[in-house]
């Protein structure tokens, strides 16, 4: 079986040009999870955010943000235990 990727002068695979794609192109973007409802949010999909204990949390809606702001410990505990 013949390798069809471009090779450098040293004979090593040049991954940046292998099939026109960089090997990092296959990595998934980092997803945020709403701590109230558990919805996964793509970057830029967040409707609201809030700060708590020096950390930023992202939410799918203002309603979820308001619930979190009123009682953050309840939702952080549930998220840590895996219950959404």
CA distances from 13 to 2, 17, 19 (A): 13, 9, 11
Question: pLDDT, tens digit, for every residue of 24-68?
Answer: 555 666 788 999 999 999 888 889 999 999 999 999 999 999 999
Strand 48-52 versus strand 55-59 pairing type: antiparallel
Considering the segment(s) 29-81 as one domain, its CATH architecture is Roll (2.30)
* pLDDT tens digit sequence for 56-77: 999 999 999 999 999 999 999 8
Domain range annotation of the chain: 29-81
């Amino acid at each position: 079986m013949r390798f069809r990727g471009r090779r450098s002068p040293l004979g090593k695979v040049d991954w940046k040009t292998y099939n026109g794609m960089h090997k990092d192109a296959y990595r998934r973007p980092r997803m945020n999870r709403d701590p109230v409802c558990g919805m996964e949010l793509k970057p830029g999909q967040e409707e609201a955010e809030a700060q708590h204990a020096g950390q930023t949390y992202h939410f799918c809606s203002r309603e979820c943000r308001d619930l979190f702001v009123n009682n953050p410990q309840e939702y952080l505990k549930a998220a840590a235990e895996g219950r959404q």
